[in-house]
Structure 1
Amino acid sequence: MARSHANSKQIAELLYQALETELGGVLIYQTAIRCAVNDDLRKEWQEYLEQTKRHVQVVERVMETLGLDSTVMTPGRQVVQNIGTSLVQAMKMAIANGDAPAAELVATECVCLAETKDHANWELIGHIARQSASPEAKVLLAAYESVEQDEDHHLYHTKGWSRELWIDYLGFPAVLPPPEEIRHVETAIGASRAEQSRQKML
């Protein structure tokens, strides 16, 4: 049942965190691309970088429409910024160690961590849009629908890359590109099915 008493203050906080997550995502992908050894993965991340830049613009437009100052740094946003900076530093540390395949693995894990937060942000934005009768709902729904598929790809496909590259690094047969990529996964259920099918694809 729709509610008409959505907490506008907390919706604003979610948007501040979503913006910072996307801004951090740009830096994370720029660094992750430097770590990529696999050409297909590098190409994938270059595409995700451009999509993430667009997502920054999507959130900024939402905030402008709702009368929010996108430069405000809330305590929650500061935490998100710190986590993003830490992920970039982790990848730079891995690059400095000189083991390119290991740095690529670190990058896949950092992207997965960042995209888990990013995906959660957008799921919450979608929830607000579908469940709330607030004035913000229509604006949020349009934004959510414009990025939902991108976010699913970023998270589920990179998880697949991380798993398969780790398996390869450990010396076992891997499916590269991963099943998630081959099956064009767009949902959590699809990602689970793709992982379960990997043995048949070896």
Structure 2
Amino acid sequence: MKKTQPNPDQVRELLYQALETEQGGIKIYQAALKCAINDDLRDEWQEYLEQTRTHEKVLLNVFEQLGLDPKQRPPGREVVGHIGASLVAAIELARKSASAEAAQLVAAECVVLAETKDHANWELIGQLVENAQADQLDVLKQAFEAVETDEDHHLYHTKGWSRELWIQALGLPAVLPPPEELKQVETAIGAARAEQARGRML
């Protein structure tokens, strides 16, 4: 497929949303960690928090190389920031008003929502790197390669944690840590296979 010139305004929009997602993700993990009562989950979230801080630094480097102001807040970034703050507020509300188990579950769901957006951002950056032609894409390619594996891991593993914590809350046999964790899943296909295999792991 012939590579095409990307829309520069939308490239900037994506980058600002991606930066806001990572910065909001740091706050979401900090809030979620206060709700973690499962030791394995706490360790997992602590690792993801540190990786998210690294992802923020990767994007700040991209902004510097592309001459973008990381403090600028276009409308799309404001929306992403509002959603992130709402997820933090939801976690804090659950921690204050629900049982420890329920708060942990709410935190897990909020992490999944945040990581879904985060993963989508980096998928789109990957699309740019693969299908577009522009001077700035070498910078984005380096960033994508530095972050992609972490983002796959975060999304598929957090979805597994959320599912298994819900199953446990329902009073059904759960696999904890989840199959995605035990099988070190890094792809959508791997995640699907891990979920299918959970019955054999009970």
**TM-score, length basis structure 2:** 0.98
| Separation in structure 2 between the aligned mates of residue 56 and residue 106 of structure 1, nearest angstrom | 25
Structure 1 counterpart of 2:133, one-letter code: A
Contact kept? 1:130, 1:137, Cα under 8 Å: no
Cα deviation, residue 21, structure 1? 0.2
Q: Which residue of 1 aligns with 2:99?
A: 99
Q: Which residue of 2 aligns with 1:165?
A: 165
More displaced 10-residue stretch of structure 1: 186-195 or 129-138: 129-138
Matches for 1:80-95 after TM superposition, within 5 Å:
80-95=80-95
Cα deviation, residue 97, structure 1? 0.9
Cα deviation, residue 174, structure 1? 0.5
Q: Which residue of 1 aligns with 2:60?
A: 60
Over aligned residues, Cα RMSD in angstroms? 0.7
| Separation in structure 2 between the aligned mates of residue 172 and residue 18 of structure 1, nearest angstrom | 37
Contact kept? 1:2, 1:133, Cα under 8 Å: no
Structure 1 counterpart of 2:135, one-letter code: P
- Deviations along 1:148-167, one digit per CA (max 9) or x if unpaired, are 11101111001000000110
Q: Which residue of 2 aligns with 1:198?
A: 198
Q: Which residue of 2 aligns with 1:124?
A: 124
Structure 2 counterpart of 1:69, one-letter code: D
- How many positions carry a matched residue from both structures? 202
Cα deviation, residue 93, structure 1? 0.3
> Identity across aligned pairs (percent)?
63
Matches for 1:1-202 after TM superposition, within 5 Å:
1-202=1-202
| Separation in structure 1 between the aligned mates of residue 186 and residue 141 of structure 2, nearest angstrom | 19
User: Which segments of 5 or more consecutive residues in structure 2 lack a partner in the other structure?
Assistant: none
User: Which segments of 5 or more consecutive residues in structure 1 lack a partner in the other structure?
Assistant: none
| Separation in structure 2 between the aligned mates of residue 76 and residue 125 of structure 1, nearest angstrom | 16
Structure 2 counterpart of 1:132, one-letter code: A
Write out the 4+ residue segments of structure 1 that deviate beyond 3 Å after TM superposition: none
Cα deviation, residue 18, structure 1? 0.2
Contact kept? 1:6, 1:134, Cα under 8 Å: yes
| Separation in structure 2 between the aligned mates of residue 2 and residue 140 of structure 1, nearest angstrom | 19
**TM-score, length basis structure 1:** 0.98
Cα deviation, residue 138, structure 1? 1.1
Structure 1 counterpart of 2:127, one-letter code: H
Q: Secondary structure at the match of 2:145?
A: helix
| Separation in structure 2 between the aligned mates of residue 119 and residue 168 of structure 1, nearest angstrom | 26
Q: Secondary structure at the match of 1:135?
A: coil
| Separation in structure 1 between the aligned mates of residue 191 and residue 98 of structure 2, nearest angstrom | 32
Contact kept? 1:26, 1:53, Cα under 8 Å: yes
